[in-house]
Structure 1
Amino acid sequence: MHTRIARVIAASSLVLAASACSSDQPPVEFASAAPLSAFYHPEAATVAGPRGSVIRSQLITGERAVPGARTYLVLYRSLDAQEKTVAVSGTLAVPEGVAPEGGWPLISWGPGSTGVADVCAASRSEGSSPSREEQARWVAAGYAVARTDYLGLGTPGEHGYMIGETEHRALADIATGAREIDKSVGSRWVAMGHSQGGHAAMFAAADSAGWAPSSPLLGAVALAPASHLGEQVRMAKWAVSNPLGKLGTGDISVYVPLLVRGAQTITDIDPTRFLTDRAVSLLPVADSECTGGLREKDKWGGLSPKDVFTRDGDISGLLRVLDDNDPGGLRLTVPVLVLQGRADLTVPAASTDAMVSELQGRGESVDYRKYDEVDHSRIVSASFADVLSWVDGRFGIAR
């Protein structure tokens, strides 16, 4: 695996340079009569401020609220990969009733892949969904749940899909901002996420303790975390040059436009150097549609690797980004729980096995649980009891 000397240096400097993230001013409440879409587009003058502070919030009611909780739509500050202050959206669900001493324990949740277009932001599609039901289970268990949309997803700017640096910042900064929105939320938190969110939780376990020292991170839970994406792209490219090759098919074609757009947020990637004309023509679809639309047969879902990659294309730039953002090479600062369904066709179990093996082989603290006959979507509900027990242990909660 690639080394991450630069990441270690950056993490060390963050510990020294981290600023206090809480603002002395309460967040501005957003007028509920205004169009919801306006919430995500703050005036430029309001964006400046310390990372982890809140720009504004709005109470959510009706079917979009998490049952048993005060639910807020949130706009908070973070830093993008170029260290520019940006607005990030998300939600916060706080249990009703009296908080325990020290405040409600907090989970900062990273959603799974939805796309890179603003309309794909998780907070824009709350409603009655499995993710909302999972939040309600955690609220019923006595946890506040902050749920980021990630940088550039829902708000101005580009979304750094599978870029660990900005993903973990999104998780840490909303965890800090949660206390500003609702004083009953405690300062201690656990990073948690599924798929892309699992990837984000892994990077939080490596970097967020230094990024947000005023918000103690106790651990991270990664459910079917994306890993070895570089290897999957390599296999897809190999299949183009090997007519009998069957590797690299599966879902990877659908995620190629998202990976390209994510890589372009941190480096100069020219997709015309390695994508076919047909694939290049379909790239703009990712800028307007979510993963469901990308899966359609007349779009990315109908493409094989041979339809996506040119035979002699140079994918080295994209591979560098994917390898540098692979969680298998991280140095963890807190314990991590990884959970994987063995019937997962989206995040291959073999990839997670390899990632965990790499981490444990270096002595990293990783607890790995595997579930037979559980696919990608069902891992969240299938593992809930195990995850709850593990997270309770991190907070010292006895039931």
Structure 2
Amino acid sequence: MIRRRLGQALMVIALASAAVSTTPVHAQEPSPITTPGAVTAATSLPHSFWIPGAANASKLTYWSTGPLNQPALSTGALFLPPGDPPEGGWPVISWAHGTVGISDQCAPTVTGTVGSPYLTNWLSQGYAIVATDYVGLGTPGIHAYLDGPSAAHSVIDMVRAARAVEPSLSPRWLALGQSQGGQAAMVTAAIATRYAPELDYRGAVATGAPSNLENLAPLVGPDFPRLPLTGSTVFVSYLLAGLRAARPDLDIDRYLTPRGTDALTRAETDCYQDMASGLGDVTIGDLVNRPLDDPAVLAAARGMLEIPTTGYDRPVFLGQGLTDEMVPAPLALKLAAELAANRQPVTFRTYPTGHIETMRAALPESLSFVRNLVQP
């Protein structure tokens, strides 16, 4: 039982994420209180929020490393499978969720969407599930959307936090993510061993991961054409809103049209579905009055959006839908080619599916892939 105690469209995305990126700064030395993974609160999670089949669940508030490499709070959930833990403890899967919004009210542990039925497939195989909300979703500050390093830190520190309050968890763990979470899982895979050497990181599974967006940022501007990609204007609005909050020095407001200003105001409060309905036929080009090609913005974009193409020391499974309407397959194919050229330990698979469907289409291969990695 859990011990409760205190303790073309992608261009747009690229540019917005750029907003979230930051200029190089020295990380603040954490105090014992703000050490990554330190738990500040552990409470029960409403039963209606549980993953179907979970034996127990709790919500944790913990410290992590956020934008600008500064200490930041995050929240997340811990789910235990039924039965007694195996020798060495339950292996852990750290789940990185897809786009929900950037407002506190959109956090999965607030909306109840943290208990995704998809995760039952993993829970039933004997994995404990930990699921971060990410820094800024349910905690102070605006969530830095598609800030890969910040999200990866949240994913890793969620494992640390869960093990701090639950003795039945093994140090063996893997990252699993879809969409925004797929990007987070890939960045996690590149830094996990170095960032948390006391844990036994085994590998990662990422599906629908947006990649190569940092290379598209210079193309974003008022003449950007209407794209047939679902949610592209919403994603860019979230990116720009996060950038405006994280990097006031970039003065993002000077790039915005009146419609852009309205979109960013909505972005700070509306979750994805409401945001999509509220924007209606607003296009990416409608948001800005000039190209977002400032060198500082581009540098920020690369720092936050870029998925590493080297540095993976454990196996990674990367899945992509060929008819993905949100993350075009050509970008994933380019990433896979770069990873292969660099001889990285990545298994790449494609499926005749759209964005959300790829997660389930990849499940049989993902389960087998992970099963082989978690053996003691």
CA distance in 2, matches of 1:258, 1:61: 28
Residue deviations 1:26-75, cap 9 Å, x none?
Answer: 7329xxxxxxxxxxxxxxxx993421122121222432222332111111
Which of 52, 68, 79 aligns to 1:67? It is 52
- Structure 2 vs 1, CA of residues 157 and 266 (structure 1 numbering), >3 Å: closer, same or farther? closer
Q: Would the alpha carbon gap of residues 124 and 247 (structure 1) be closer, same or farther in structure 2, given more than 3 Å must change?
A: closer
User: 1:84-120: per-residue Cα shift (whole Å, max 9, x none)?
Assistant: 4332100011112111111111000110011111111
Q: Does the aligned pair in 1 maintain the 2:63–2:71 contact within 8 Å?
A: yes
C-alpha separation between the residues in 1 aligned to 2:269 and 2:226?
A: 31
In the alignment, structure 1 residue 52 sits paired with structure 2 residue 37: yes
2:327 and 2:338 map into 1 onto residues whose CA distance is: 17
Trace 1:22-33 onto structure 2 (pairs within 5 A): 27-28=5-6
Is 1:181 matched with 2:161?
no
Instruction: For residue 158 of structure 1, report the CA deviation from its aligned partner.
Output: 2.5
Residue equivalent to 2:13: none
Is the Cα–Cα contact under 8 Å of residues 57 and 72 in structure 1 kept in the other structure?
A: yes
CA deviation after TM superposition for structure 1 residue 126, in Å: 1.9
Equivalent positions of 1:141-152 (< 5 A) are 141-152=125-136
Query: Could you say if the C-alpha distance between residues 134 and 273 of structure 1 is closer, same or farther in structure 2, counting changes exceeding 3 Å?
Result: same
| CA-CA distance at 1:148 after TM superposition | 0.1
Q: Measured at CA, do residues 291 and 246 of structure 1 come closer, stay the same or move farther in structure 2, by a change above 3 Å? A: closer
3-state DSSP of counterpart to 1:378: helix
Higher relative contact order (CA 8 A, sep 6+): 2
Q: Give the C-alpha shift of residue 250 in structure 1.
A: 5.2
**What CA distance in whole angstroms lies between the structure 2 residues aligned with 1:252 and 1:351?**
15
| 1:234 Cα deviation after fit | 4.1
Larger mean CA deviation between 113-122 and 259-268 belongs to: 259-268
Counterpart residue identity of residue 40, structure 2? I
Aligned to 1:101: 87
SS class of match (1:369): strand
Residues 216 and 108 (structure 1 numbering): CA distance in 2 closer, same or farther, change over 3 Å?
Answer: same
Q: Could you say if the C-alpha distance between residues 115 and 247 of structure 1 is closer, same or farther in structure 2, counting changes exceeding 3 Å?
A: closer
Q: Do residues 210 (structure 1) and 194 (structure 2) align?
A: yes
Moved more, 261-270 or 179-188: 261-270
Secondary structure of 1:115's counterpart equals coil
The count of aligned residue pairs is 348
User: What corresponds to 1:35 in structure 2?
Assistant: none
Which of residues 341, 348, 356 in structure 2 aligns to 1:377?
A: 356
Once the two structures are overlaid, the 10-residue window that deviates more, 154-163 or 266-275, is: 266-275
Q: 1:248 to 1:231 in 2, by over 3 A?
A: farther
Which residue is 2:332 aligned to? 352
How far apart are 1:249 and its partner, in Å? 6.2
Unaligned runs of 5+ in 1: 1-24, 30-45
Describe the superposition over 1:146-188 as per-residue Cα deviations: whole angstroms up to 9, x where unpaired: 0000011111122121112211110111111211222111111
CA gap 1:330/1:151 in 2 versus in 1, 3 angstroms: farther
Distance in 1 between the 2:177 and 2:140 partners?
A: 23
Q: 1:309 aligns with which of 283, 288, 299?
A: 288
Q: Matches of 2:341 and 2:134 in 1, distance apart?
A: 31
Q: Are residue 366 (structure 1) and residue 346 (structure 2) matched?
A: yes
CA positional deviation for 1:251: 3.3
**3-state SS of paired residue (2:51):** coil
Q: What letter matches 1:63 in structure 2? A: S
* Matches of 1:292 and 1:395, distance apart in 2: 37
2:365 to 386, 389, 392: 386
RMSD of the TM alignment (CA)?
2.5
Q: Which residue of 2 aligns with 1:88?
A: 74
Within-5 A mapping of 1:141-290: 141-237=125-221, 240-241=222-223, 251-264=231-244, 266-267=246-247, 268-290=249-271
Normalising to structure 1: TM-score of the pair?
Answer: 0.80
Does the CA-based 8 Å contact 1:328-1:358 persist in structure 2?
no
Matches within 5 A, 1:31-50: 48-50=33-35
Q: Distance in 2 between matches of 1:249 and 1:230?
A: 18
Report the secondary structure of 1:390's partner residue.
helix
Instruction: Kindly provide the amino acid, as one letter, of the partner of residue 124 in structure 2.
Output: A
From 314, 321, 327, give the equivalent of 1:341: 321
Amino acid at match of 1:171: V
The corresponding residue for 1:117 is 103
Looking at structure 2, the residues matched to 181 and 96 of structure 1 have their Cα atoms a distance apart, in angstroms, of: 18
Contact 2:172 2:200 in 1 (8 A): yes
2:312 pairs, out of 322, 326, 332, with 332
Residues 310 and 185 (structure 1 numbering): CA distance in 2 closer, same or farther, change over 3 Å? Answer: same
Contact preservation (8 Å) 2:190, 2:308: no
Cα pair distance change 1:356/1:265, threshold 3 Å: farther
